[in-house]
Structure formats: C-alpha cells, structure tokens
Structure 1
Amino acid sequence: MPNPLAVARDLLNRSPVDGFILAILAAVIIAAFLPARGTAADLLDWVVTVAIAALFFLYGTRLHPREALEGLKHWRLHTTILTFTFVVFPILGLAIRPVVEPIVGEDLYNGLLYLCLVPSTVQSSIAFTSIARGNVPGAIVSASASNIIGVFLTPLLVVALMTTTSGVQIDGTSVLKIVAQILVPFIVGQLARPWVGGFFGRHAKVTKLADRGSIVLVVYSAFSEGVREGIWSVVDAGQIIAVAVISLILVSVMLVVTRWVPRRLGFDRGDTIAIQFCGTKKSLATGLPMATVLFAGSTVGLIVLPLMIFHQIQLILCSWLATRYGREAETAAAHA
C-alpha cells in the first residue's frame, strides 16, 4: 500500500501551482477561520519579528563582499534598476488611481500603491537572473541595495504619497523598528559571514525554509489582525479578481518597459536581464513586515493583499520568462 505522505508529496511536486503559493493561500484560509487572538496573537507577533530578523540575517550571510565590490562598479546598472523600483513604479501607481480606485475601493487601491513603493526582491531576482544567464553579480548588488535603501525610502514614500482612512502610522519609532528588524540583522549577517556563510551555503534548504516560512507567518499574522478587525466585511470576490487583473497588467507593463529602456540605453544582454528581473519585482519579505509597522487594524490586511497577489503573478511570469531566456542562451551557445 503506497505511503499517503509520499503520494501527497508526489502530487505537490507534479502540481503546476508552486507549493509556496499553496502555503500562502492556506495561511489566509486558516487566518479567516482561526485567527490568532489574545495571548496567541501577542506570541505570534514576537515570533514573526524574530523570523523576519533571522531571514535578513541569512540574506547578509549570502552576499559575499567580493561580489558586492564587483557589482558596485556598474553604477549605471544600479541607478537604472533603482529608478525603475522607486521612481517609475510609484509614478505608475499614482497614474492608475483615477481608473482603479472606483473599481477596487480606497483601501485596496492604497494596497496597490503601497506595492509600488516597496523594494525589489532579493532571492527571486537573483535566481531568475541566473536562470536567464544574466548579470548575476549586478543583480545581487542591486537587489540587496534596493532592500537596504528601501528601509529608509519606502516609509518616506508612504508618508509623501499615501493616505488611508485610518491614517498612516509612521514616525521616528516606526523607522527605527524597520531598521532594527531588517537592516541591523542584515549587517550582522555580513559581519558573521566568515564564520557561518559556509554552513548556510552548504545547507541552502535552511535559507529557503526561513525565507518562505517567515513570509507565511507574516501573512497569517497580518490576516489574523485583519479578520479581528473585520477585513472580509469590506472586500468581495469581485474586488479581489480586479486586483489580480490590475496586478497582471502592472507586471506585464513593467516587464516590457524594463526590457525596452535598457536596450535603448545601450546595455548588453546580461545587464538588460538583470534590470528586467530586479526592476519589475516587489518584495513580499520586506513589504509585509514594513506594512505591519506602518499600518494598523483592518488596513494591514487590505494593504498587503494586493502585494501578495502581485507577488504570485510576478513569480509565475518571471519564471516563464527566465526559462525562455535561459533556453535561448543555451541554443545560442550550442550554435556558437
């Protein structure tokens, strides 16, 4: 008789839906029916804080100073990627407001605008650039720099561009919390790299588990708070579908723009790929903990929902695109 666990694992491996996406959906469903309350909610907040700090510590241990030095030399590449992340995306987020807000409502529009203000992803940007045979050192530095700069720039952009019905809760204390939760562990990871970098390099599954597990925890925590504050009483299936369609359009537009502009600026194939994948991605790992600090109550759940949807769509599209680029590179190499 076949092992049920083995059968389930085999079905997941064959499923066209990534297991990480299923885990996030499961976290949302569990939070909808069994949200953390009281002492459990307080304990969960502490666990999430530790998990996010551990995640960015691991990010710090993975960035080799030699890679950073090599990548830093290419300032045009990094300037272009940061411009897409923190200038073009926010402008696009503001531009869609007249059309989008009447469809999805103020809170979900603010969620769409918020996702336009968060930094690029680290792990998936680098992974997709590598799969596509792009400039990996450049992607490593740009994605990491995006997150470090975003610790300070994203809250400033939120204050400058966003308004919510419950108000943006941000002051010096909020920025310090974000720095303590994200930037400080990253720096500690860099300092500890000579002693622990090799261990985590040999045990990549530990980093992957921490990466995905921390995000699932944050999703459950954010939606638990949203459920306690009545999130599902103010959003319906039509709004969620609309957010998904808008996110698909946003990702598609940015993928086209981040390929067309670098070519016109004279970047080679490897740099163009790094710009495309780093310049179109938005970080769930950084954006969620920032949102829990910057916003409160039901607003958190509504604001992180578009980021979650956008994140899954960008993973699917970029995965397909990176695989195609990689095959093109292999074919070109075979005929060279």
Structure 2
Amino acid sequence: MSAAHPARWWHPLPDGRLQCDLCPRECTLQDGQRGFCFVRQRDGDALVLTTYGRSSGFCVDPIEKKPLSHFHPGTSVLSFGTAGCNLGCRFCQNHDISKARDQDTLADAATPEAIAAAAVRLGCASVAFTYNDPVIFAEYAIDIAAACRERGVHTVAVTAGYIHPEPRREFFAAMDAANVDLKGFSEQFYRKLAFAELAPVLATLEYIRHHTNTWLEITTLLIPGQNDSDDELRQLSRWVFEHLGPEVPLHFSAFHPDFKMQDIPATPPATLTRARQIARDAGLQFVYTGNVHDLAGATTTCPKCQAALVRRDWYQILDYRITPAGTCPDCNTAVPGRFRPEGAGTWGRKRLPVRLGR
C-alpha cells in the first residue's frame, strides 16, 4: 500500500508556499519540500503524510513500559512507531527511529484495520503510538484509533505534546490514554536541547487534563546538570499540582548517554529518589521512578492511608490490591485511573516483536 496520504491541517500562503498547521513549527513549504519532521511533504498544491500505513516495527510490551501505571495495569499493549519527529532533542533515546528518513526505517506495512485486528489476535488490551511522536502521523493514528474502538481495543499516545490547538482536539479525542513527555521546566532547556518551546507543551497538558476524557500521565527524563536541579524540580512539581491536580501520575526516568549527548553521564538512581521526594513534598500523590530498579518508586500507594496497592518489580506486578470498584481495600479511597474490574493483567515484563506485513 502506498505510504503517501493526504495530510490535514495546512493552508496556502499569499507567496505560493503552503504552511503546515499541525504543530507550533508552522513549516512553510515549496513543492517537494518536507517539514522539520521529515514525514509531512508538499506534493503539488497539497500536503501529504509520507508514512501513512507504514511502521518501523511492532512489539507487544507491558503497558507499564509506556510508562502508564494507572491504566489497565499488567496488560499487554501492541506498540509501534513510524519515522521522524517534530522535536530535535539532542538527548533522544530513540534517535534511530525519530531521526530516520522514512525510507530508511519503515519495514512493516499495515492498515488501521490490520493493526486493530492484530491487537485482538495477540490479546492486547491497547495499541500504543510510541518510539517516535504520533503527533506527526496524526491522520494515521486517528484512523487506527477509530478501528481499535470498533473492536474494543484502547489506544495510547506517547507524545511530547507539541501540537497546535485545532489538531489537538481531534487527536486526543481519539486517545484513551496519553503519557506526555515533559522534557524539562524551562524555556531555555527546550530551546537549547529540544529545539522547541515549553509553553505549547504546558497548554497541551492542561487541555488533556481539563477538556478530554483521556487518562493522563507525565514523564520527565532527568539529565544530570540540565534539568535535575532542586529548584527546577520544585517548579515542575508545583505546576503539575496547581494546574493539573495532585492525582496526575508523574514519572521521573533515568537518562543514559545517547545521540548527541554522549558526554553526559547516566542519571544516578539517587537523583530519581530525590526528584520523587521533591514531587511528593509538593503534594503529588503518585510519583514513580523509571529505568532503574526501585521497588518503592514503582509502587502505587493509597493517597489517603498510604497502603501499598500495586507493587512492581520493573514491569512485573508482584501484588495487586485495588478493588474491582477501583478503591483501596483498607480505607475505601478511590484510586484515580482506569482499572479493570477483573484485576491486573498477567503479561509481566515480556517483550514480543511481531510482524504484521511486508
């Protein structure tokens, strides 16, 4: 199947160029030119998405790997990405995909219906758009989400949230859950290390939280000396508390040297522990650590009585005590999230690569 597909969210300019209106970059294109993301291209008098129906690979993962700790714990998710990205993170942990040209990395072909059918066949509760940012293939992701909903399969967006308001409405209306990568909490960090801006990401977070039914969790990758100071962590945590609420889960994950920041050391586990305590002191009820072995930082506790409700070892659920009604069994306090009445899934920490097409 052809990978080129009509793109949405663009308009012509008086000088003959076409402006892409998908994200804050607002790339302006002459015929044949591609945007910063590399996958949205001008073709004559229209824009096309060059990666529609194509993937850089499919894999069945635990939902906790996205990471999502309050969305159908223990279940499996069919994960995939395409190519390209609309950010330019110097620390990208998936640069082989996000910085790839589409023809270099797109091996699997799959229609939205084929992906939904594969999720059902593989016993996956969800499909996740991940590895690269699904915002840049929004048309494809929205079509997949529609096919999934027809089959009772959830959809998850793992995204940096760098998207304009108009496409944002339709994109997140299609998603059952999202983990938004809040890369830091200063404009300087975003401009210097991500070639982007912080303000649109904060606007996306507030939109998801207050204007959609999409379950929201947040991840911040802590990079030594760049975004891990006590002051920045306090500002970030207070903003989440004041603008989103204390019940929104926040994940702090460990950086490892990669891409164009191989001179920066890996994040010490103590940094994640410190960040978690700062966020909890700011009033956040659910703060997790990732990419490290930390039982306390992986455990979901009751926001009222602090009883351990979900104990995890990496992505493996060791103990699950949330009631079918989604409450703490000790004090009956409701636990925010999307929990299955039948309890946790049993997928564990397995990773299963799959092929959907050629």
Query: Could you tell me the TM-score, scaled by structure 1's length?
Result: 0.24
Query: Could you tell me the TM-score, scaled by structure 2's length?
Result: 0.22
The answer to which structure has the higher helix fraction is 1
Q: State the structure with bigger RCO (CA 8 A, min sep 6), 1 or 2.
A: 1
The answer to which structure has the higher strand fraction is 2
